[in-house]
């Protein structure tokens, strides 16, 4: 794999029990690049991100997906869990914020489960919340947030550990225009700083904003039904 390539997929399939297998075409993604995965509901956008991020296993024989030099096929659960949050920043479609924790503690959680949170991590969390315009909500509980505010907190959490790859699954679903703009701006800033991002979305507004902000770093892959 060339040094510039962070992710290489040659052939990849996944089958849920009782359903037809989903087949994905080959793709490659390098550092400092942005890939938007589009397609109708049910085509496998979320499944693809779950496989790349180690949330779902890639079974041996289901193809080859190499992430940062690591073959995902046949990887054990513990190995897959260790991809996040350092290599992969994960922003699921459902935000999964823990209501018993404040917003800032939710943002810090993936890092704090692995290492002791230091001043640099706290400073970065504050910078992300400020950039996403929710710093005044740092001590609030997730149940008091709007959908857009919760999505921005989830994005801050995904970016906190400075991952090499951001996976964002429908990051602007049901968001207002202002929240879409903030999310797009922060994803574009991550890519400009050398990060790679894969965003699964059918949001045409988000697509237009990312294409404009990421310019020649933007590519799109459509999945058929």
Dump pLDDT digits (tens) for 15-27: 999 988 999 989 9
Rounded Cα–Cα distance for residues 112 and 162 (Å): 14
* pLDDT single digits (tens) 27-44: 999 999 999 999 888 789
Per-residue confidence (pLDDT) for residue 166, from 0 to 100? 98
- Provide the strand spans (E) within the chain: 5-14, 22-24, 27-30, 34-38, 63-67, 70-71, 88-91, 165-169, 196-200, 218-222
Per-residue confidence (pLDDT) for residue 11, from 0 to 100? 87
Per-residue confidence (pLDDT) for residue 223, from 0 to 100? 87
1 — pLDDT class (breaks 50, 70, 90): very low
Per-residue confidence (pLDDT) for residue 95, from 0 to 100? 78
**3-class SS at 5?**
strand
First to last CA, the chain: 30
**3-state SS of the chain: helix, strand, coil percent to 5?**
40, 20, 40
Choice between 41 and 180, residue whose per-residue pLDDT is larger: 180
* pLDDT single digits (tens) 59-104: 999 999 999 999 999 999 999 999 999 999 999 998 789 999 999 9
Confidence (pTM): 0.95
Region 120-137: mean pLDDT is 98
The answer to whether 21 touches 31, Cβ cutoff 8 Å, is: no
List Cβ neighbours of 83 (8 Å cut-off, separation of 6 or more): 53, 54, 67, 70
Region 125-149: mean pLDDT is 97
- pLDDT tops 70 at residue 3: no
Per-residue confidence (pLDDT) for residue 163, from 0 to 100? 98
Rounded Cα–Cα distance for residues 44 and 32 (Å): 24
4 — pLDDT class (breaks 50, 70, 90): low
| CATH dotted code for 5-222 | 3.40.50.300
Rounded Cα–Cα distance for residues 183 and 166 (Å): 13
């Amino acid at each position: 794999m060339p040094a510039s390539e962070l992710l290489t997929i040659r052939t990849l399939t996944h089958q849920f029990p009782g359903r037809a297998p989903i087949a994905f075409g080959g793709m490659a993604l390098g550092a400092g690049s942005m890939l938007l995965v589009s397609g109708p509901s049910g085509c496998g956008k979320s499944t693809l991100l779950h496989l790349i991020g180690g949330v779902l296993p890639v079974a041996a024989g289901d193809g080859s997906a190499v992430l940062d030099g690591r073959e995902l096929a046949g990887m054990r659960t513990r190995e897959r869990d260790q991809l996040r949050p350092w290599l992969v920043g994960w922003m699921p479609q459902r935000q999964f914020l823990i209501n018993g924790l404040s917003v800032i503690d939710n943002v810090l959680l993936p890092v704090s489960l692995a290492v002791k949170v230091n001043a640099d991590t706290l400073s970065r969390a504050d910078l992300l919340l400020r950039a996403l315009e929710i710093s005044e909500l740092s001590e609030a509980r997730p149940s008091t947030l709007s959908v857009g505010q919760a999505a921005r907190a989830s994005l801050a959490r995904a970016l906190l550990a400075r991952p090499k790859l951001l996976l964002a699954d429908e990051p602007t679903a049901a968001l207002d225009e202002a929240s879409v703009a903030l999310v797009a701006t922060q994803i574009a800033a991550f890519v400009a700083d050398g990060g790679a991002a894969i965003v699964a979305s059918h949001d045409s507004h988000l697509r237009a904003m990312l294409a404009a902000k990421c310019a020649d770093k933007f590519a799109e892959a459509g999945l058929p039904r």
